[in-house]
């Protein structure tokens, strides 16, 4: 009886309930649980230790990783209590969306192949093969659409897109960048490229007027990344698309001083959550590049549809 009472006391904690709901559906490592719950390792490990001591959770070693899953001990009424609690936990829906993303990461063999390919690209010389050439080729496929390049800097990407797009609006909060970019646009005769001074959290663009909102290595400079993504949603037409290219979460603190970064990148779960909260659907997130040298920055690409 004492073990049952102890287990019931454990179920009174919302974090442990979230853990049991997740582990009832999927075995997860501590790192994966961290990504889903957004909590520190020590806090999660403490909860798991208590659940394991009560025989509500089991662990399994696979190579260097330890996976945790819900046990069948005290099943029956406990299972019903845990399942019923999902409706009372405001975080449960977020946890399920994050769990779906974790499953996708495990299963995405195409991503693994691409990462290997990207690591080999350029190691051997091939005439005419370059990332710059690929960029021009892909950008040439842009149709007659209106593009918002948010956090455009001097607007190199904006100028490439302006060669095919109907109109490109480049937004940046630096007067010098906007001035320099606008002069380059005039110099190259881009009449469909306009530079505007403004913040990516409140871009000076009318609602529902653009087809593509692009945030290329700009989101980690935003005071509130969630507000920037919500702003992109506002200016997009129904059916319009957001594209985010940014750094995957890292621990290189010097980036704050060296590059004026406000955020040390974002996890895929964080991006997925911000996109969903802004109202985007058909969300797709992938790690598309890993640098071979320290601090080994990784690049994440995320898209969504309004």
Q: Sheet of 193-197: strands edge to edge?
A: 193-197, 167-172, 146-150, 210-216, 236-247, 298-305, 281-290
Strand ranges inside the chain, DSSP E? 28-29, 57-62, 65-70, 146-150, 167-172, 193-197, 210-216, 236-247, 281-290, 298-305
Strand 57-62 versus strand 65-70 pairing type? antiparallel
- What is the per-residue pLDDT across 132-148, written as a single tens digit (0 to 9) for each? 666 666 676 678 999 99
Instruction: Say what the pLDDT of residue 142 is.
Output: 79
Token duo for residue 86: 């999902």
Token duo for residue 37: 């719950």
- What is the per-residue pLDDT across 70-102, written as a single tens digit (0 to 9) for each? 887 655 566 666 776 666 788 888 888 889 888
Q: Which whole-number Å values give the CA distances from 202 to 199, 243, 278, 299, 302, in the listed order?
A: 5, 17, 14, 25, 21
| Phi, then psi, of 229 in degrees rounded to 5 | -70, -40
For residues 160 and 24, give the distance between their C-alpha atoms in angstroms, rounded to a whole number: 49
**DSSP code string of 158-172:** HHHHHTTSSEEEEEE
- What is the per-residue pLDDT across 199-228, written as a single tens digit (0 to 9) for each? 999 999 999 999 999 999 999 999 899 999
- Please give the CATH topology (third level) of the domain spanning 2-107: Arc Repressor Mutant, subunit A (1.10.10)
Q: For residue 295, say if its preceding peptide bond is cis, omega within 30 degrees of 0.
A: yes
- What is the per-residue pLDDT across 233-282, written as a single tens digit (0 to 9) for each? 999 999 999 999 999 999 999 988 888 889 999 999 999 999 999 999 99
What is the torsional sign of CA 229, 233, 235, 241?
Answer: positive
- Please give the CATH topology (third level) of the domain spanning 109-305: Rossmann fold (3.40.50)
Cβ pair 200, 215 in contact under 8 A: yes
Instruction: Say what the pLDDT of residue 1 is.
Output: 40
- What is the per-residue pLDDT across 4-55, written as a single tens digit (0 to 9) for each? 666 667 777 888 888 988 998 888 999 999 999 989 999 999 999 988 888 8
Query: What is the pTM for the complete model shown?
Result: 0.68
Residue 112: pLDDT band (50, 70, 90) is low
Tokens 């719950």 -> residue: 37
Token duo for residue 248: 């995957």
Closest by CA to 79, choosing from 87, 89, 70, is 70
Closest by CA to 265, choosing from 285, 235, 280, 292, is 285
Instruction: Say what the pLDDT of residue 56 is.
Output: 84
Q: Which whole-number Å values give the CA distances from 72 to 23, 57, 58, in the listed order?
A: 11, 8, 9
Domain edges within the chain = 2-107, 109-305
For residues 227 and 201, give the distance between their C-alpha atoms in angstroms, rounded to a whole number: 5
Taking residues 293-300, what's their average pLDDT?
A: 91
Instruction: Say what the pLDDT of residue 126 is.
Output: 53
Cβ-based neighbours of 212, under 8 Å, separated by 6 or more: 145, 146, 147, 148, 236, 240, 241, 242, 243
Instruction: Say what the pLDDT of residue 140 is.
Output: 67
Instruction: Say what the pLDDT of residue 30 is.
Output: 92
Instruction: Say what the pLDDT of residue 110 is.
Output: 47
Instruction: Say what the pLDDT of residue 2 is.
Output: 45
């Amino acid at each position: 009886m004492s073990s049952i009472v102890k287990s019931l006391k454990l179920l009174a904690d919302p974090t442990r309930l979230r853990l049991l709901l997740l582990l009832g559906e999927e075995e997860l490592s501590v790192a994966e649980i961290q990504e889903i719950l957004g909590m520190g390792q020590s806090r999660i490990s403490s909860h798991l230790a208590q659940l394991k001591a009560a025989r509500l959770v089991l662990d399994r070693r696979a190579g260097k990783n330890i996976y945790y899953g819900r046990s069948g001990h005290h099943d029956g009424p406990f299972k019903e209590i845990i399942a019923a609690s999902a409706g009372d936990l405001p975080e449960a829906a977020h946890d399920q969306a994050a769990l779906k993303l974790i499953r996708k990461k495990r299963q995405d063999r195409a991503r693994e192949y691409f990462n290997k390919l990207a690591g080999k690209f350029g190691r051997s010389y091939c005439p005419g093969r370059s990332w710059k050439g690929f960029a021009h080729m892909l950008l040439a496929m842009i149709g007659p659409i209106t593009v918002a390049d948010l956090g455009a800097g001097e607007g190199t990407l904006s100028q490439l897109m302006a060669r095919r797009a109907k109109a490109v609006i480049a937004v940046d909060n630096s007067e010098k960048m906007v001035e320099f970019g606008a002069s380059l646009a005039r110099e190259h005769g881009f009449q469909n490229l306009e530079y505007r001074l403004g913040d990516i959290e409140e871009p000076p663009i009318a609602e529902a007027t653009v087809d593509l909102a692009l945030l290329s290595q700009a989101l980690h400079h935003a005071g509130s990344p969630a507000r920037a993504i919500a702003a992109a949603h506002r200016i997009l037409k129904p059916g319009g698309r957001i594209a985010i290219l940014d750094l995957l979460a890292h621990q290189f603190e010097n980036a704050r001083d060296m590059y004026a970064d406000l955020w040390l990148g974002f996890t895929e779960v964080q991006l997925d959550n911000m996109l969903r909260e802004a109202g985007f659907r058909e969300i797709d997130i992938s790690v598309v590049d890993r640098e071979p040298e320290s601090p080994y920055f990784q690049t994440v690409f995320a898209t969504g549809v309004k």
